[in-house]
Structure 1
Amino acid sequence: MNELISLDDAKALIGKVRRWHHKFEIIPGLVTPGSYDPQDLWNKLRIDNRVSGQRVLDIGASDGFFTLRAAEKGGEVTAVDFRSKDRHGFGVMETLTGRSFAYEHANIFDLDTERLGQFGIVLFLGVLYHLPDMMRAFHKLRALCSGTLFLETHCDNSPSPDFAMARYYKGDSLAGDITNFWSPNRLCVVDMLSDAGFDVVREEVWGDRMFAEARVSDDPERAYKMGVAYGRIYTRN
């Protein structure tokens, strides 16, 4: 906590943010006016005792709840968002907590994997369905992840659960938001992760949402398939 900032000044800073997504206690006694409480999802991650000493990548960091929590648990966190820090609450979170994070103002497809290196834990929460090319995103994630990927997404399980499929949303037909493109079903998510080089070890579906914990695989057949798909051919064993 930044002890040089009074509670009234902290409230004023929070009020300057046009829209908060994350609703959380940003400093003791002060809760942000977000539309979504991310604490339940943090609990689903079960990483309180797994973060310390790890490089953590938080893709789609938004107002910084998950970035902050991972840092409080001892992680070395890099945050990614397609908006700059000051276009949402992330910058205010840094100011009020007295913390400073490595921050990539970038689309996931533009992340420089060679410069960033790999991360033991990657958080990919509430992002997948906003992306027009889901497989390309998973391919990028595999290059960035050396350990475990945690994913949460909108998930349409109204079709048959026996077939991997995804529903496409034209314009703003999903929740009035033009950034929503896809709603894959559970099996589609699991199969895409598999082809991209991840093995799902834990999953949960509730309503129209899905959570999965997946670990990296070095299966050369899967690497070859992604190499064919994205123009980099790997040698088969």
Structure 2
Amino acid sequence: MTPREVELQKKIAQYHFYHFIELTDNIRTPGIPEYVPTQQGVLAALDRADLSGKRVLDIGCRDGLYSFKAEQRGAAEVVAIDNCLSRAAVELLIPELNSNVQMHEQNLFNLTAETFGKFDTIIFAGVLYHLRYPFWALKLLRDLLTDCGQIILETGVMLNDPDLPLMFCPTEGDSPYEPTSVTFFNPKGLRDTLATLGLHVTHQELLNHPELLNRSPQLGIKNRVKRFLGRTPERIIDRMTLTCELGKASSSAETRDYWDATHRLE
């Protein structure tokens, strides 16, 4: 280990980290191991995306794992926001990586196209299931996309009742995670909601039960899960990563006007 790396280790010890981020061949930040599996789907989605010369927004950026990845993948500009900005990212990682990522302490619901402009790609990972106003959040993101823009979305999902578009909205002790985790679409509910906004899924994958996306009409999900797990759980929670592209909304203009409270009653 070089003298510079020894000094870097001392600096790292002054901070708390959420992400594992490589700084040198010998040093990476001490992130939280149990979150690594959920991050892999987002990193893979970023590898598939064409980010060269694009503007990227990373919502809920924490230490900036996805922001730095987007920059490495050729993004022209990366803006990252979080309600509680990572001191480690701002004070250590951005300077150490000689990065141009712009990090701001900002709430998603305060964003408009006038705040930072519009973006070609939005990374929205590990945030949706924490939100009490999920439909409005997804609309805000849609409005921040450029024409033909894309969202890389990762969230907790409920796998029950795949034929119906549903959302599980627990409170406090009923949450399968911790109390702030309150919004779990099932896959159909999430895909259908995105489609009403003109966001069409081009890639999707489940973390723990990928085979359950390949639905067989002859075998209901409870039976498939029972066969796979040996039991029939009351609530099946998994993590899902989707890439969706902006196109034509599946809902009518009249319906969208009604939802947005911009309609006129005759």
Larger displacement relative to structure 2 (217-226 or 136-145)? 217-226
Residue 145 of structure 2 aligns with which residue? 145
Query: What is the deviation of 1:223?
Result: 5.4
Distance (Å, rounded) in 2 between the aligned partners of 1:33 and 1:85: 14
Distance (Å, rounded) in 1 between the aligned partners of 2:173 and 2:7: 37
Distance (Å, rounded) in 1 between the aligned partners of 2:187 and 2:49: 28
Distance verdict in 2 for CA 1:232–1:118, change over 3 Å? farther
Distance (Å, rounded) in 2 between the aligned partners of 1:223 and 1:80: 31
Residue 17 of structure 1 aligns with which residue? 15
Residue 210 of structure 1 aligns with which residue? 240
Query: What is the deviation of 1:167?
Result: 1.3
Which residues of 2 match residues 132-171 of structure 1 at below 5 A? 132-146=132-146, 147-157=149-159, 159-171=160-172
Query: What is the deviation of 1:109?
Result: 0.7
Query: What is the deviation of 1:95?
Result: 2.5
Partner SS, residue 34 of structure 1: coil
Q: Which amino acid aligns with 1:189?
A: L
Distance (Å, rounded) in 1 between the aligned partners of 2:162 and 2:49: 34
Matched, 1:62 2:69: no
Residue 193 of structure 2 aligns with which residue? 192
TM-score, normalising length: structure 1 = 0.85
Distance verdict in 2 for CA 1:224–1:124, change over 3 Å? farther
Distance verdict in 2 for CA 1:74–1:137, change over 3 Å? same
Larger displacement relative to structure 2 (32-41 or 200-209)? 32-41
Distance (Å, rounded) in 1 between the aligned partners of 2:24 and 2:254: 47
Q: Which amino acid aligns with 1:149?
A: I
CA RMSD of aligned residues (A): 2.5
Distance verdict in 2 for CA 1:220–1:152, change over 3 Å? closer
Partner SS, residue 191 of structure 2: helix
Distance (Å, rounded) in 2 between the aligned partners of 1:188 and 1:28: 43
* Runs of 4+ residues deviating >4 angstroms: 220-224
Q: Which amino acid aligns with 1:198?
A: L
Distance verdict in 2 for CA 1:223–1:202, change over 3 Å? farther
Partner SS, residue 158 of structure 2: coil
Distance verdict in 2 for CA 1:202–1:9, change over 3 Å? same
Deviations 1:90-120 (A, max 9, x none): 5421132122422231111111322322111
Matched, 1:92 2:105: no
Distance (Å, rounded) in 2 between the aligned partners of 1:206 and 1:7: 35
TM-score, normalising length: structure 2 = 0.77
Give the fraction of aligned pairs with identical amino acids, expressed as a percent. Answer: 25
Deviations 1:121-176 (A, max 9, x none): 1111111101111100110010111211111111110x211111111221255465
- The number of residues matched between the two structures is 228
8 A contact 1:60–1:124 mirrored in 2: yes
Partner SS, residue 177 of structure 1: coil
Distance verdict in 2 for CA 1:9–1:224, change over 3 Å? farther
Distance verdict in 2 for CA 1:27–1:81, change over 3 Å? farther
Query: What is the deviation of 1:15?
Result: 1.7
Residue 5 of structure 2 aligns with which residue? 7
Query: What is the deviation of 1:12?
Result: 2.2
Query: What is the deviation of 1:66?
Result: 0.7
Distance verdict in 2 for CA 1:162–1:97, change over 3 Å? same
Distance verdict in 2 for CA 1:7–1:150, change over 3 Å? same
8 A contact 2:71–2:78 mirrored in 1: yes
